[in-house]
Structure 1
């Protein structure tokens, strides 16, 4: 893992953070066998639904059921990436079928793919060459809302301010100006 790789702090709603319990945390997946054992226990072999994932600061993949919050999967820590991941298996060999950076709690940049690929390579899980669905997150400099850029339209849906070309979600927002509980969808 490169020391210069960006990490992401939780930027989502505080009530979601407050709901994380001391025993929350995703299953650590260091090997394909770890994944197979976990997936079988979680889904009885049915992998039709994607999983919540994070890549922790240690570069290791962590998985949780899809309806889990990313901050819980991460044990409230910073992450190198976060999103959703689906798998398919053939003859006992598992591979990643689809993967996105869709996490409205961490809002990772699309450049976080490198950390995902490294974690999957280390675990021995075959995967696509990039996110199969990229989400572009930005914080509006005008109203401070988290937002999702759609169709290359870098304009805030709340206040019509131009959004920056570069990822900027990790900027601290004053406590009284946190905006809504989730990113806008345009």
Structure 2
């Protein structure tokens, strides 16, 4: 654990990790003007979609088009947070509209919000008070399958085993 929270290693399919290339990671966004410069080249349709995001190990927000893989956006490294994010213009400024921790490559805990909010605050973005869509990830101790917990039902969809209440996707990554 560092000052911004836990670090998450990539736990997704190896074939997606193989897509990582030098200098192909997501765009580092240190300020609203960085975002404005980046989106000036995007189509309006692309702006209306969610973006793939990660908070890198230095606490910096990185963005990529939605259909990008989180591991590519992160350059293959560990992250402090990951998910999807949307932006909208309000009174001539970009603000975060929606933000989730939906990343099946890193499976961050909902506590990763702390790192997300730190990065957004540092870049000067107004944002919601928490994830607008929280995803609860758990690994089944019985069959080792990754699960998304819905409606507080902590039961493995693969083997009906009981899922832990605490995040356990990659214990070595914390």
| TM more than 0.5 | yes
- RMSD between aligned residues: 1.6
Matched ranges for 1:73-112 at <5 A: 73-112=73-112
SS of the equivalent of 1:71 reads helix
Offset at residue 20 of structure 1 (A): 1.6
Q: Aligned in 2, Cα 1:43/1:3: closer, same or farther, shift over 3 Å? A: same
Between 1:7-16 and 1:84-93, the stretch displaced more is 84-93
SS of the equivalent of 2:21 reads coil
Structure 1 regions of 5+ residues with no counterpart? 173-186
Greater RCO (CA < 8 Å, at least 6 residues apart): 2
Matched ranges for 1:138-153 at <5 A: 138-153=138-153
Q: Aligned in 2, Cα 1:158/1:46: closer, same or farther, shift over 3 Å? A: closer
Q: Aligned in 2, Cα 1:46/1:171: closer, same or farther, shift over 3 Å? A: closer
Partner residue, 1:10:
10
Structure 1: which 4+ aligned runs deviate by more than 6 Å? none
Partner residue, 2:35:
35
Offset at residue 121 of structure 1 (A): 0.3
Are the equivalent residues in 1 in contact too, given 2:26–2:63 (CA < 8 A)?
yes
Are the equivalent residues in 2 in contact too, given 1:42–1:65 (CA < 8 A)?
no
Counterparts of 2:4 and 2:132, CA distance in 1: 25
TM-score, with length taken from structure 2: 0.94
Offset at residue 47 of structure 1 (A): 1.9
Between 1:19-28 and 1:117-126, the stretch displaced more is 19-28
Between 1:42-51 and 1:30-39, the stretch displaced more is 42-51
How many residue pairs get aligned? The number is 172
SS of the equivalent of 2:164 reads coil
Structure 2 regions of 5+ residues with no counterpart? none
TM-score, with length taken from structure 1: 0.88
Deviations 1:137-182 (A, max 9, x none): 000001101110001100000000000000001136xxxxxxxxxx
Deviations 1:58-111 (A, max 9, x none): 011000000000000000010000000000003430000000000000000000
Counterparts of 1:10 and 1:85, CA distance in 2: 19
SS of the equivalent of 2:113 reads helix
